[in-house]
Amino acid sequence: MLNIKTKMIMCAGCVLMPILASAAWLGKGEAGAALSNNSTGAYSTSFVGKVDLYKEVEQWKYAFGASTVYTSSKGEAKADDPTPIEKTAADRWEVHHQTDYRLNAKAFLFGGLRYENDKVGSYQFQSVLSTGLGYKWFETTETKLITDLGVGYKRFKPQSPSEGSSDSEAVVTGLIDLKQSLSVNTALLNKFSIESGSSNTLFQNDLALQTKMTDVLALSLDYQLRYNTKPLSSEFTHRQYAHTDRLLTANLVYEFK
């Protein structure tokens, strides 16, 4: 139960961080949760939380983000299984930072750092330090399209019940960030990223449909797709991890202006 409370606090923090941030920082936080149980003892719990902040100072832009996802379930008690085990389907958190230096109105250099911790997936942790060049194709009130391409250094550790050792490799990184207004209150957002190395290539796509309720509050329907080209085998179950992870959530969004 302590683990669930911890996840609730992390989700709440994702929403509160923009509010507690300096007035110079802009961005948004969002969170969603689902709890269900019945008289047989079966229950399921899901929490998601995310925050993205940025700050611009002359030629520089500083961006920070964090996210967490947790999903667990427990089946109903039966005669042949009076105490079913709680199963965790997702338990992951991630933080990232990026600094941009504007070369002109369209192009910029960037340096970024990403760290991900996962208690269920193929890798216990992944950290990537990268740098490269970005370009703003469109940046209007209706349409935003930004891409970047870079190279980096990645350290990672496969999921294992023992301590084990981590490994490292060079990677190529890429990003396509799109925002398209569909109406005055509705917008479609899509962010596609890639991290490609010799051991594995991770594709991630985050699609969201957001509808404003007030000047700072919105509802968002999010769909995340993660695909690993070379998933590892689990040392716990001796089965192959799936190539694809999917996550569909409905979240409350707070925008800090």
Cβ burial 94-133 (10 Å sphere, 16+ → b, else e): bbbebbbebeeeeebebebebbbbbebbbbbebbbebebe
Q: Give the pLDDT score at 14.
A: 54
Q: Give the pLDDT score at 203.
A: 96
Q: How many CB atoms lie within 10 A of CB 239?
A: 8
What burial class does residue 47 get, using C-beta atoms within 10 Å of its C-beta: 0-12 exposed, 13-18 middle, 19+ buried? buried
d(CA 196, CA 169): 10
Q: Give the pLDDT score at 38.
A: 59
Q: Give the pLDDT score at 25.
A: 86
Q: Give the pLDDT score at 79.
A: 59
Q: Give the pLDDT score at 242.
A: 78
Cβ burial 63-85 (10 Å sphere, 16+ → b, else e): bbbbbbbbbbebeeeeeeeeeee
- Of the candidates 169, 175, 172, which has an alpha carbon nearest to the alpha carbon of residue 157? 169
Residue type, 110: F
**Domain map of the chain by residue range?**
52-63+86-256
What parts of the chain have a pLDDT lower than 50?
1-2, 4-5, 8-9, 15-16, 19-23, 237
- Residue 161 has phi, psi (to 5 degrees) of -70, -15
Q: Give the pLDDT score at 98.
A: 97
Q: Give the pLDDT score at 235.
A: 55
Q: Give the pLDDT score at 19.
A: 47
Q: Give the pLDDT score at 2.
A: 42
Question: What's the CATH code, domain 52-63+86-256?
Answer: 2.40.160.40
- Of the candidates 195, 190, 193, 192, which has an alpha carbon nearest to the alpha carbon of residue 210? 190
Residues 6+ apart with CB under 8 A from 238: none
Sign, CA torsion 254/20/112/147: positive
DSSP state letter for 38: -
Asked if 116 contacts 126 with a C-beta cutoff of 8 angstroms, the reply is: yes
Instruction: Give the predicted TM-score (pTM) of the model.
Output: 0.82
